[in-house]
Structure 1
Amino acid sequence: MSAIADLSAAMAHCPLVAILRGVRPEEVEAVGEQLVEAGFSMIEVPLNSPDPYESIGRLARRFGPQVLIGAGTVLTRRQVAHVHEAGGRLIVSPNVDTDVIAASVEAGMVSLPGFFTASEAFAALDAGATGLKLFPAEGVGPSYIKALRAVLPIDTPLLAVGGVAVDNISDWFAAGADGAGLGSALYRPGRSAGDVGAIARAFVAASREARGLVVETTPQA
Structure 2
Amino acid sequence: MNQPLSPPLPFRLPLIAILRGITPNDAVAHVAALVEEGYDGIEIPLNSPQWERSIGDCVRAFGSRALIGGGTVLTPDDVVGLRRVGARFIVTPNTHPAVIQRAVDLGLQVVAGFATASEAFTALDAGAHMLKLFPATTYGAGHVRALRSVLPKATPLFVVGGITPDNLPQYLDAGAHGAGIGGELYRPGQSVEATRANAIAFRQALQEHAA
Instruction: Please report the TM-score for the alignment, with normalisation by the length of structure 1.
Output: 0.91
- How far does the alpha carbon of each residue in 1:91-119 deviate from its partner, in whole angstroms, 9 at most, with x for none? 00111110000001001101011000000
- Percent of matched pairs sharing the same residue: 49
Q: Distance in 2 between matches of 1:102 and 1:200?
A: 32
1:49 paired with 2:51, answer: no
- Look up the equivalent residue of 1:105 and give its one-letter code: V
Q: Which residue of 1 aligns with 2:174?
A: 175
Contact kept, 8 Å, 2:15 with 2:41, in 1: the verdict is yes
- How far does the alpha carbon of each residue in 1:27-73 deviate from its partner, in whole angstroms, 9 at most, with x for none? 10100011011111100110000000110001111111321101000
**1:1-221 to 2 correspondence within 5 Å?**
8-10=9-11, 13-212=12-211
Structure 2 SS opposite 1:74: coil
Q: Distance in 2 between matches of 1:106 and 1:149?
A: 27
Contact kept, 8 Å, 1:138 with 1:162, in 2: the verdict is yes
Contact kept, 8 Å, 2:114 with 2:134, in 1: the verdict is yes
Q: Distance in 2 between matches of 1:211 and 1:81?
A: 37
Q: Distance in 2 between matches of 1:99 and 1:188?
A: 31
Structure 1 SS opposite 2:42: strand
- Look up the equivalent residue of 1:114 and give its one-letter code: G
Structure 1 SS opposite 2:102: helix
Count of matched residue pairs: 204
Q: Distance in 1 between matches of 2:87 and 2:137?
A: 28
Q: Which residue of 2 aligns with 1:3?
A: none
Q: Distance in 2 between matches of 1:9 and 1:95?
A: 21
Q: Distance in 2 between matches of 1:182 and 1:74?
A: 17
Contact kept, 8 Å, 1:39 with 1:201, in 2: the verdict is no
Contact kept, 8 Å, 1:158 with 1:177, in 2: the verdict is yes
Instruction: Please report the TM-score for the alignment, with normalisation by the length of structure 2.
Output: 0.95
Q: Distance in 2 between matches of 1:116 and 1:168?
A: 19
- Look up the equivalent residue of 1:135 and give its one-letter code: F
Gaps (5+ residues) in structure 2? Answer: 1-7
RMSD, aligned CA: 0.9
Q: Distance in 2 between matches of 1:9 and 1:17?
A: 11
Structure 1 SS opposite 2:180: strand
- How far does the alpha carbon of each residue in 1:109-143 deviate from its partner, in whole angstroms, 9 at most, with x for none? 01011000000000100100010000111111111
Contact kept, 8 Å, 2:43 with 2:71, in 1: the verdict is yes
Gaps (5+ residues) in structure 1? Answer: 1-6, 213-221
- Look up the equivalent residue of 1:91 and give its one-letter code: I
Q: Which residue of 2 aligns with 1:217?
A: none
Please identify runs of 4+ aligned residues in structure 1 that moved more than 4 A. Answer: none
